[in-house]
């Protein structure tokens, strides 16, 4: 009887006798293998077909690192994400050239590939287009620039207004590993969610199920994972999940109260697993105010966690919810953060979910405006970066007029949240699931009426449930009508009066 092994050996001998080489692909010297763009340039017309999905480019140079995620759509257009924070939309031609540039193909080869791919393109035009996109990539890979996408006006041909280009998948997923927490903030948006009667069913996902969630999100093309909660550091498998996210080429961040980071060994574990950045909630420079707003004696551990994160080399920022309890100290907090060595900090207003609906600590948008102007000016004096997170109604508080940049709700569009049981909700505070990431098809979740409603705010404000004053408002594209949770909260108050 001829076994499979003997058959293979005979075949090899026969091929050897005939003078046909039996060379394993991997045994060929690397220099002998042509790159795909060389083949493309030799055999025009050549049509590279890239599979839709996420391709990761991790550029390391002395003095820094920059990560690119090129997410290609079925039509060949793509989104290029820089360090998972800035997104540049590319048409199919620019997407092809950007990929060639990131794969380090010579620019003349790129021009040749372009001519093979798009018939009728002249040599000069192809070379000019290639030069243009290569200049863009070169600018983005400049590690000496503090902001990779600032000052791109010279190299980008056409600007689209913010929030105007439809996306095929979110840029970021918040992974709420657990709603448990070692703090007890009265204004916490997930407060109700943490109580056992309202906790999502069925039971929380295991670490191996969360790894599967990460794989699914990577396959969908989501490049940026934020581990959050509740308090994500209470989830035992967190370092393992960060490592898996890193192995998949994703960028990992952590939103935490910082208390567990007071242990330097734990911070090192997370850093070694590939954690990229951490956002620590700090409510005040005053221990009594911070502890009162946190519902726990947390200040010392939180500040130590912040210092340990900086020492470990993590990109560490703080976030502060402005309420009646701390708003009078916002300016001093900026100086305190500067003294700690923080260069970027964030603030937000009340989120009207969970405890945020009942604490009574919120400040009106109108009253926040002078506070934000003061914080902005102090940050500028100290050369710090101030991020304002809350999407307000621009007719009450315009972040654009305050020179804080456009802020619009990005739920169900640029961002989604996965709950502890795998349910997919539009954002971390909007507790209505559109399906379950492990049980349901992604397409059904993404195209659900709930998510489509969030995405069609501008095109169909009436259908999306915005009030009549928004329907023809010129600010609608940037404002989006503010946070729907605040609107629902205010409507409920009006109805009950
Ligand atoms: S879109 Fe609506 S909420 Fe926004 S500024 Fe216009 S009227 Fe105000
Ligand atoms: S619904 Fe939108 S604006 Fe409101 S908390 Fe969620 S993401 Fe923010």
The pLDDT tens digits of the residues spanning 376-405 come to: 999 999 999 999 999 999 999 999 999 999
Give the confidence band of 80 by pLDDT, cuts at 50, 70, 90. very high
Q: What's the confidence (pLDDT) of residue 9?
A: 43
CA-nearest residue, atom 4 of ligand 1: 481
411 Cα–ligand 2 center, Å: 6
Ligand with an atom nearest the CA of residue 431: 2
- Check pocket membership of 484 for ligand 2, CB cut-off 6 A: yes
User: Which ligand gives the minimal distance to the CA of 415?
Assistant: 2
Higher pLDDT, 31 or 228: 228
Rounded Cα distance, 367 and 392, in Å: 12
| Confidence at 199, pLDDT banded by 50, 70, 90 | low
* CA 394 / ligand 1 centre spacing (Å): 6
Instruction: Please report the DSSP string for 407-439 in residue order.
Output: ----BTTTEEEE-TTSBEESBTTB-----BTTT
pLDDT bracket for residue 167 (50, 70, 90): confident
Check if 394 has its Cβ closer than 6 Å to any atom of ligand 1.
yes
Q: Is the CB of 470 under 6 A from ligand 1?
A: yes
C-alpha 481 to ligand 1 mean position (Å): 5
CA of 320 to the centre of ligand 2 (A): 16
| Ligand 1 proximity of 481 Cβ (cutoff 6 Å) | yes
| Residue tagged 């025009």 (tokens) | 44
Ligand nearest to the CA of 483: 2
pLDDT score of 65: 80
Ligand index nearest the alpha carbon of residue 461: 1
Of all ligands present, the nearest one to the C-alpha of 477 is 1
CA–centroid distance, 279 to ligand 1, in Å, is 30
Look at 39-43, 74-78, 92-96 and tell me which has the smallest mean pLDDT: 39-43
Instruction: Identify the band that residue 76 occupies on the pLDDT scale cut at 50, 70 and 90.
Output: confident
Supply angle C-alpha 107, 112, 117, rounded to 5: 120
**210 pLDDT tier (thresholds 50, 70, 90):** very high
Q: What is the pLDDT of residue 53?
A: 82
Closest ligand 1 atom to Cα of 473: 6
Q: Which of 188, 228, 391 to mutate to test the pocket of ligand 2 (most atoms within 8 A of CB)?
A: 391
- Looking at residue 411, its pLDDT comes to 96
476 Cβ inside 6 Å of ligand 1: yes
101: closest CA among 145, 140, 153, 149? 140
Report the range of poorest mean pLDDT among 90-104, 210-224, 331-345, 428-442: 90-104
Minimum mean pLDDT range among 137-141, 213-217, 255-259, 329-333: 137-141
Q: Can you tell me the distance from the alpha carbon of 116 to that of 109, in angstroms, rounded to the nearest whole number? A: 11
The answer to whether residues 278 and 254 touch, using CB atoms and an 8 Å cutoff, is yes
Edge-to-edge, what's the strand order for the sheet holding 78-82?
53-61, 64-72, 78-82, 86-90
* pLDDT surpassing 50 at residue 481: yes
Mutation test residue for ligand 2: of 171, 351, 409, the one with most atoms within 8 Å of CB: 409
| CA 148 to chain CA mean position, Å | 16
Task: Choose one of 469, 471, 478, 483 to mutate for the ligand 1 pocket test, by most ligand atoms within 8 angstroms of C-beta.
Answer: 469
Distance of CA 309 to the CA centre of its chain: 20
Mean pLDDT computed over 56-85: 85
pLDDT tens for 10-50 read 434 433 333 333 333 344 444 556 777 776 666 555 566 67
Q: Nearest residue CA, atom 8 of ligand 2? A: 409
- Looking from the CA of residue 461, the nearest atom of ligand 1 is 1
SS3 state of residue 158: coil
Give the global pTM. 0.83
**Between 216 and 33, where is the model more confident?**
216
Question: CB of 356 closer than 6 A to ligand 2?
Answer: no
From the list 4, 20, 37, the residue with the least C-alpha distance to 12 is 20
H or E stretch at 55: strand 53-61
Question: How confident is the model at residue 155, as a pLDDT?
Answer: 54
Report CA(172)–ligand 1 centroid distance (Å).
26
Q: Which ligand is nearest to the CA of 393?
A: 1
Our CA angle for 276, 50, 448, nearest 5°, is: 70
Q: Is 21 helix (H, G, I), strand (E, B) or coil?
A: coil
Q: Is the pLDDT of residue 157 over 80?
A: no
The long-range contacts involving 82-88, CB below 8 angstroms and separated by at least 24 positions, are 82/140, 82/148, 82/149, 83/148, 83/251, 84/171, 84/172, 84/223, 84/224, 84/251, 84/276, 85/224, 86/148, 86/149, 87/171, 88/136, 88/149, 88/152, 88/156
Point out the ligand 1 atom lying closest to the alpha carbon of residue 398. Answer: 5
Q: Give yes or no for residue 404 CB within 6 A of ligand 2.
A: no
Does 483 contact ligand 2 (Cβ within 6 A)? yes
What is the per-residue pLDDT for 146? 63
């Amino acid at each position: 009887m001829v076994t499979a092994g003997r058959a293979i050996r005979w075949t090899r001998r026969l091929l050897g006798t005939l003078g046909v080489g039996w060379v394993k692909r991997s045994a060929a010297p690397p220099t002998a293998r042509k790159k795909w763009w060389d083949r493309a340039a030799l055999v025009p017309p050549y049509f590279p077909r890239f599979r839709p999905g996420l391709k990761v480019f991790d550029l390391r140079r002395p003095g820094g690192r920059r990560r690119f995620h090129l997410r290609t759509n079925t039509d060949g257009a793509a989104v290029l994400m820089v360090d998972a924070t800035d997104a540049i939309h590319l048409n199919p031609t620019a997407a092809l050239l950007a990929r060639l540039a990131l794969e380090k193909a010579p620019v003349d080869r790129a021009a040749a590939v372009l001519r093979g791919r798009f018939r009728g393109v002249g040599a000069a035009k192809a070379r000019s287009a290639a030069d243009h996109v290569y200049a863009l990539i070169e600018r983005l890979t400049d590690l000496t620039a503090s902001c990779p996408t600032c000052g791109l006006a010279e190299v980008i041909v056409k600007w689209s207004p913010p929030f105007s280009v439809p996306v095929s998948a979110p840029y970021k997923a918040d992974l709420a590993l657990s709603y448990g927490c070692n703090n007890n903030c009265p204004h916490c948006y997930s407060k109700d969610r943490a109580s056992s009667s309202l906790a999502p069913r069925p039971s929380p996902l295991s670490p191996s199920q969360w790894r599967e969630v990460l794989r699914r999100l990577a396959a969908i093309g989501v490049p940026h994972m934020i581990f959050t909660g509740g308090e994500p550091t209470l989830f035992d498998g967190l370092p393992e999940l960060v490592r898996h996210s890193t192995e998949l080429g994703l960028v990992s961040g952590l939103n935490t109260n910082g208390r567990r980071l007071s242990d330097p060994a734990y911070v090192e574990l997370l850093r070694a697993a590939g954690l990229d950045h951490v956002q620590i909630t700090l409510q005040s420079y005053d221990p009594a105010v911070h502890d009162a707003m946190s519902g726990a004696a947390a200040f010392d551990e939180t500040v130590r966690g912040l210092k340990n994160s900086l020492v470990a080399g993590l990109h560490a920022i703080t976030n502060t919810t402005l309420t009646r309890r701390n708003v009078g100290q916002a300016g001093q907090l900026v100086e305190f953060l500067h003294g700690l060595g923080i260069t970027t900090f964030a603030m937000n207003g009340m989120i009207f979910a969970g405890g945020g609906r009942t604490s009574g600590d919120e400040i009106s948008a109108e009253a926040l405006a002078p506070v934000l102007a003061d914080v902005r000016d102090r940050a500028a004096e100290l050369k710090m970066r101030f991020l304002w997170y809350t999407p307000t109604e621009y007719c009450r508080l315009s972040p654009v007029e305050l020179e804080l940049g456009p802020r619009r709700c990005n739920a169900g569009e640029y961002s989604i949240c996965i709950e502890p049981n795998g349910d997919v909700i539009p954002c971390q505070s909007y507790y209505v699931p559109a399906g379950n990431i492990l049980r349901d098809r992604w397409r059904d979740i993404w195209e659900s009426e709930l998510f489509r409603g969030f995405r069609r705010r501008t095109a169909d404000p009436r259908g999306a449930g915005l009030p009549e004053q928004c329907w023809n408002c010129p600010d609608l594209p940037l404002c989006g009508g503010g946070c729907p949770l605040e609107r629902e909260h205010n409507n409920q108050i009006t109805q009950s009066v």
